[in-house]
């Protein structure tokens, strides 16, 4: 989604804003722009494409000044063009950057046009600028003008606003889209994400819904809540060191993040495992009481996080005996769900800001769930703050749009939930203790799988010219097949589908021929023999098979229609986690071969903060 950054300082802010935009670029990257107040006037550059294009403009014609706002765009209303890029101005009066969607913009636009305003873009944002200009023309100060303007807006938004009428201040608003204040020494900042500001501060104020903030001279920060009362919000120290937003020696963030998995899986486990079990207290002091009341679970998520939820259903039902439903947030929030007594509402989200997931949580609050648990990667995110309890996945910032380490650490968290709930519901059994022991060795086994990178890269050659691919799995590996297909389509633009292998004969088999590579994961579990029969069905139709199989699984690969890559032994329960890794690497290498933009695939955004 769009990214906002703003600064009020005693030095030139262009460099700070530009660096912030680069760090926000993972959110949106179809165009970017910046407005700085210079000698009492708004000066602006906007450019289509990546932040680098804006940087080129700025090199030719710098924007000096000590207060400014800037934006990376992910188009919702209007194509990625210079005219649609932010900041949007109303004449010389006011400049606005916006993340989110103004739902009543058409009605507002008609009113403003009737009042004499000429629109220069197709965006919903421009109505904010013109309305603000009207209010300012009535002699109202900038802060109050923003307040009066947002009172007329419907939808979700975060804003950054500045005007030459009050030089040296920037006003921000948070209503449904994330916004943080960065606290500097005698300077203050705004951003959609703390990552954008780590080069200038590690101290942040997370604004609450409905908050408005004025950043002023000398680093002053004045916040009022939705009722207009002045409030103090806590300043929190960001826990990651700077350097996290750099690729290091890796060619892409995605590859770096894939290789970070052993480390972050250890971090996700740290301090949460008992000797043979997982104490409910790992989920916080309120968790034991909440888990004791939990009879069933509703999991809600989007995208890759949804796939983690699908895996968890297999785990929670088998190892904890708890019935589970899993649904994508955008569907759940508009259903009329019947909530069974004792249902725990669990959201999964890397960012904690996904609009649909957040809306689903808010919707769920009135429906009689026993409580809500967020499994999330971003401390201080909206989802975490609005849930009864939260478990952090500790994956560290994930920059690649295609989620990798966030997914596997979510799976770790969900296995912890399984074992913890299982302990509350059933007498701890030997199997739980075995899984706990296996979790402790998991990072080392992941390292062994990542060492297969060279072989997987070689295998990726077979996909570069293909237009379609089919991923198969059974049981808890069906969602892994879905995730494998999602990764491939997201970053290589090859059409890919994930199927439960048993469904093959009910449709997709019709597609199988030598042009359709079929990828399957084959751990050594109860379903192996069934899976092998399904794979025979593919071979019999001339399909090209690629199988990631347990080292003990014999699959005849003497013919050249089958390629098998063996993975080390892992406890059956943890196999979905391990088998994710080769699929991530496969997608990555195929995308590199195809020359796509791996970290910022076309049309996608990392943090989807609009509906
Ligand atoms: C976007 C991202 C996906 C992500 C999904 C859910 O679509 O591109 O990678 O899985 O949002 O995001 P969340 O932050 O809620 O996990």
Average pLDDT over residues 342-364: 96
Determine if the peptide bond prior to 87 is cis (ω within 30°): yes
Query: Which ligand 1 atom is the nearest neighbour of the CA of 351?
Result: 14
Q: Whose CA is nearest to atom 5 of ligand 1?
A: 303
Calculate how far, in angstroms, residue 416's C-alpha sits from the geometric centre of ligand 1.
Answer: 22
The pTM of the full predicted model, rounded to 2 decimals, is 0.81
3-state secondary structure 1-32: CCEEEEEECCCCCHHHHHHHHHHHCCCCCCEE
| Ligand 1 lining (C-beta closer than 6 Å) | 302-305, 349-351, 354, 357, 401, 403, 604, 606-608
At residue 172, the pLDDT reads 98
pLDDT given for residue 245 in this prediction = 64
How many whole angstroms separate alpha carbon 251 and alpha carbon 591? 13
For residue 609, is pLDDT > 70? Answer: yes
CA distance 34 to 46: 6
Of 307, 298, 304, 309, which is closest to residue 333 (Cα–Cα)?
298
Q: Report the alpha-carbon distance of residue 598 to residue 398 in Å, rounded.
A: 14
**Residue nearest atom 1 in ligand 1 by C-alpha distance:** 606
Please, what are the domains in the chain?
A: 3-237 (3.60.20.10), 253-447 (3.40.50.10490), 453-594 (3.40.50.10490)
C-alpha of 59 from chain center: 32
> For the segment 111-123, what is each residue's pLDDT rounded down to a tens digit?
999 999 999 999 9
Beta-strand ranges (E) seen in 380-489 are 389-392, 468-473
Neighbours of 237 (CB within 10 A): 8
Two tokens at 305? 């996080």
Ligand 1 centre to CA of 225 (Å) is 29
- Residue among 586, 569, 568, 353 nearest 462 (CA): 586
pLDDT for res 600: 87
Q: Write the burial class of residue 217 (CB in 10 Å: 0-12 exposed, 13-18 middle, 19+ buried).
A: middle
Smallest CA separation from ligand 1 atom 7, residue: 303
Measured CA to CA, the distance from residue 314 to residue 316 in angstroms comes to 6
- Ligand 1 centre distance from Cα of residue 106 (Å): 29
pLDDT, position 428? 52
> Ligand 1, atom 8: nearest CA belongs to which residue?
606
Give the Å distance between the CA of 484 and the centre of ligand 1.
15
Q: 422 C-alpha to center of ligand 1: Å?
A: 28
- The pLDDT assigned to 429 comes to 65
For a ligand 1 pocket test, name from 303, 381, 408, 600 the mutation site with the most ligand atoms within 8 angstroms of its C-beta. Answer: 303
Q: Which of 326, 354, 359, 375 to mutate to test the pocket of ligand 1 (most atoms within 8 A of CB)?
A: 354
Task: Cite the active site residues.
Answer: 2, 606
Dist. CA 328 → ligand 1 center (Å): 11
The tokens describing 382, both together, are 């909206």
Best probe residue, ligand 1, of 301, 311, 351 (max atoms within 8 Å of C-beta): 351
Closest CA to 372 of 356, 354, 391, 353: 391
Averaged over 20-43, what is the pLDDT? 91
161-186 CB burial, b ≥16 within 10 A, e <16: bbbebbbebbbbbbbbbbbbbbbbee
> What pLDDT does residue 347 have?
98
Which pLDDT belongs to residue 14?
A: 97
160-192 tens-digit pLDDT:
999 999 999 999 999 988 899 999 999 999 999
Strands 3-8 and 188-191: antiparallel
Rounded Cα–Cα distance for residues 78 and 34 (Å): 19
Of the candidates 584, 549, 546, the residue with the CA atom closest to the CA atom of residue 568: 549
For residue 508, the model assigns a pLDDT of: 85
Banded pLDDT at 369 (limits 50, 70, 90): very high
Q: What is the pLDDT of residues 47-86, one digit of tens each?
A: 999 999 999 999 999 999 999 999 999 888 889 999 999 9
Q: Taking a C-beta distance cutoff of 8 angstroms, is the pair 353, 383 a contact?
A: yes
For a substitution probing ligand 1, which of 26, 355, 598, 607 has the most ligand atoms within 8 Å of its CB? 607
**pLDDT higher than threshold 90 for residue 415:** yes
Q: Which atom of ligand 1 is nearest to the CA of 301?
A: 15
> How far is the centre of ligand 1, averaged over its atoms, from the C-alpha of 397 (Å)?
13
User: What are 371-404's pLDDT values in tens digits?
Assistant: 999 999 988 888 999 999 999 999 998 989 999 9
pLDDT tens per residue, range 207-230: 998 999 999 989 999 999 999 999
Supply the pLDDT for residue 271: 84
Half-sphere exposure of 222 (CA within 13 A, CB side): 14
The overall average pLDDT reported for the chain is 92
Provide the sign of the torsion angle of the four alpha carbons 569, 571, 574, 576, taken in this order. Answer: positive
Q: Using CA atoms, how far apart are residues 454 and 529, in angstroms rounded to an integer?
A: 29
The closest residue, in CA terms, to atom 4 on ligand 1 is 303
What pLDDT is attached to residue 244?
A: 62
3-state secondary structure of 335: coil
Average pLDDT over residues 14-28: 89
Nearest C-alpha to atom 2 of ligand 1 is from which residue?
606
Q: Ligand 1 centroid to 556 CA: how many Å? A: 38
């Amino acid at each position: 989604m769009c990214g906002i950054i703003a600064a009020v300082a005693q030095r030139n802010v262009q460099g700070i804003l530009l660096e912030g935009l680069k760090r926000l670029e993972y959110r949106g990257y179809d165009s970017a722009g910046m407005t700085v107040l210079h000698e009492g006037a708004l000066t602006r550059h906007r450019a289509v494409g990546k932040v680098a294009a804006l940087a080129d403009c700025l090199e030719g014609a710098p924007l000096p000044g000590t207060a400014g706002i800037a934006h990376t765009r992910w188009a919702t209303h209007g194509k990625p063009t210079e005219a649609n890029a932010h900041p949007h101005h109303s004449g010389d009066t006011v400049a606005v950057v916006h993340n989110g969607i103004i739902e009543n913009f058409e009605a507002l636009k008609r009113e403003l046009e009737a009042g004499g305003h000429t629109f220069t873009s197709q965006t919903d944002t421009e109505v904010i600028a013109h309305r603000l200009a009207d209010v300012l023309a009535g002699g109202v100060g900038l802060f109050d003008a923003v307040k009066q303007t947002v009172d007329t807006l419907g939808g979700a938004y975060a804003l950054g606003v500045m005007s030459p009428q009050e030089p040296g201040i920037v006003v921000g608003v948070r209503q449904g889209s994330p916004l943080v204040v960065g606290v500097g020494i005698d300077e203050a900042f705004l951003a959609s994400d703390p990552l954008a500001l780590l080069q200038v501060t590690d101290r942040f104020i997370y604004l609450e819904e409905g908050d408005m903030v004025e950043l002023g001279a000398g680093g002053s920060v004045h916040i009022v809540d939705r009722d207009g009362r002045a409030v103090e919000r806590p300043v929190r120290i960001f826990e990651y060191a700077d350097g996290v937003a750099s690729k290091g020696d890796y060619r892409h963030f995605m590859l770096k993040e894939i290789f970070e998995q052993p480390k972050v899986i250890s971090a996700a486990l740290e301090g949460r495992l008992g000797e043979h079990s997982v104490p409910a207290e790992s989920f916080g002091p309120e968790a034991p009481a909440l888990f004791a009341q939990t009879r069933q679970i509703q999991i809600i998520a989007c995208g890759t996080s949804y796939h983690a939820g699908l895996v968890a259903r297999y785990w929670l039902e088998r190892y904890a005996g708890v019935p589970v439903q899993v649904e994508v947030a955008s569907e759940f929030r508009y259903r009329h769900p019947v909530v069974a007594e004792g249902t725990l509402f669990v959201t999964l989200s890397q960012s904690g800001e996904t609009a649909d997931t957040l809306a689903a949580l808010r919707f769920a609050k009135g429906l009689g769930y026993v409580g809500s648990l967020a499994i999330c990667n971003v401390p201080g995110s909206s989802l975490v703050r609005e849930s009864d309890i939260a478990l952090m996945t500790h994956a560290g910032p994930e920059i690649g749009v295609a989620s990798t380490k966030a997914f596997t650490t979510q799976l770790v968290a969900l296995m912890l939930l399984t074992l913890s709930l299982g302990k509350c519901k059933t007498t701890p059994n030997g199997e739980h203790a075995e899984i706990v022991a296996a979790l402790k060795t998991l990072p080392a086994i992941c390292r062994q799988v990542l060492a297969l990178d060279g072989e997987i890269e070689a295998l990726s050659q077979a996909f570069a010219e293909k237009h379609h691919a089919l991923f198969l799995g059974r049981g808890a590996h069906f969602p892994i097949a879905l995730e494998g297909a999602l990764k491939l389509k997201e970053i290589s633009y090859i059409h890919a589908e994930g199927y439960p292998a048993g469904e093959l004969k009910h449709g997709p088999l019709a597609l199988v021929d030598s042009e359709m590579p079929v990828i399957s994961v084959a751990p050594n579990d109860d379903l192996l023999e069934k899976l092998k029969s399904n794979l025979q069905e593919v071979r019999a139709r001339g399909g090209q098979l690629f199988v990631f199989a347990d080292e003990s699984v014999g699959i005849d690969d003497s013919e050249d229609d089958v390629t098998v890559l063996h993975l080390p032994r892992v406890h059956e329960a943890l196999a979905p986690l391990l088998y994710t890794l080769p699929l991530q690497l496969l997608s990555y290498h195929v995308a590199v071969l195809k020359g796509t933009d791996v970290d910022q695939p076309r049309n996608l955004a990392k943090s989807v903060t609009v509906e």
